[in-house]
Amino acid sequence: MPGTGCAEVARADDLPAAARARLGTGLFRDLDWWRCVEHAALPPGARPLYWVAGDGDAVLPLCRRADGRLTSLTTPYSCAFAPALAARTNGSPALASPTPGASLAIRAAPLAEACRRAGLVRLEALDPAEAETDALLAACRGAGLLVLRFAQFGRWSECVAGSDWDTYLAARPGKLRETIRRRLRAAGRGRTSLTLTDGPAGLAEAIAAYEHVYARSWKPAEPFPAFNPLLMRSLAPSGRLRLAVWRVDGVPAAAQFWVVEDGRALVLKLAHDEALKALSPGTVLTALMIRRFLTEERIGWLDFGRGDDPYKRGWAAERRQFEGALLLDPRRPAGWPLLARHALGRLRARWH
């Protein structure tokens, strides 16, 4: 972007080597994620773009919508988003950046200037505890932008380091605990089976079973139906994929899409066949997967992803609020309607 110290790059694969290193690793940061988003999760007419500061000192993945709006390169599947200001090897939102705050602010400054030149940018899926996000928002304020933050979604998780299955189960609410015990006993009588796919072998069959279950579930159609299968295929070679299918009499009854990395098991998608709801297939499969994570993989965190679905409270004890932010230049008339709506929303929240 001329005059800002930022270059625009059209695709993740075209990023310079230093910028790729700045992205680091972790599901919602690495190149595999951005490739999948580019290929299978863009709204009609939208195009990705990456602002790269200097020689790759900072990267901000963005999306130019068909109507010209500029937003973060986030999707309905994104559980976290942040500018890439400090190279790191773990994308977990619970980890603070290893680079001192002053250094982060310096790296964020060209991105903030580019936001000022753009006039209006919407960011989503921001973790308030993320140092890189704080640095960018502070730099935007310093560049004269208004930063309007808003609540977006909760993310439920629980630390299970050192816990075994019995300890974890004992901490569940009584009704859920008894349902799990009763259904697991019934599941052990021979009519059911669990298939877990964690690599390329058998993946096509597992994806077909997952899509069979999803089509017969209570869930609405996916906005981007090709995205999850593409992400599954992308994750399988690295061993991060856990695609679980629970069958009753050989028929897929429940399916779950988990990602395991750096001691954290994150479920991205789950569904069960509504016709088999009386068997509690979703509860059974969740219990089987968590028991496996605790007894065989020694997972330290269970993460139920974005959203405040009521069932998550039974499986995880901690909720973290994720936010969005509008970055707007108050001197540009284009941002005034958004500023007015934001102020009205705050007034309504205060009076309710």
Closest to 53 (Cα-Cα) out of 121, 139, 119, 127: 139
Q: What is the pLDDT of residues 292-333, one digit of tens each?
A: 999 999 999 999 999 999 999 999 999 999 999 999 999 865
Q: What is the pLDDT of residues 21-42, one digit of tens each?
A: 889 889 999 999 999 999 999 9
CA neighbours within 13 Å on the CB side: how many for 11?
7
Domain ranges of the chain: 6-154+320-351, 161-299
pLDDT at 347 over 70: no
Tell me which of 182 and 89 has the higher pLDDT: 182
pLDDT at 128 over 90: yes
Among 109-113, 126-130, 169-173, 334-338, which is the least confidently predicted range?
A: 334-338
| Strands of the sheet with 47-53, listed across from one edge | 6-9, 47-53, 58-64, 70-72, 120-126, 318-328, 146-159, 301-306, 264-272, 251-261, 241-248, 192-197
- The Cα 83–Cα 131 span in angstroms is 10
Q: What is the average per-residue pLDDT within 129-152?
A: 95
pLDDT of residue 152: 97
Q: What is the pLDDT of residues 184-200, one digit of tens each?
A: 998 878 799 999 999 99
Q: What is the pLDDT of residues 68-110, one digit of tens each?
A: 999 999 999 999 999 999 644 444 433 344 445 668 888 999 9
pLDDT of residue 188: 79
Mention the CATH class of domain 161-299.
alpha beta
pLDDT of residue 272: 97
The model's pTM:
0.90
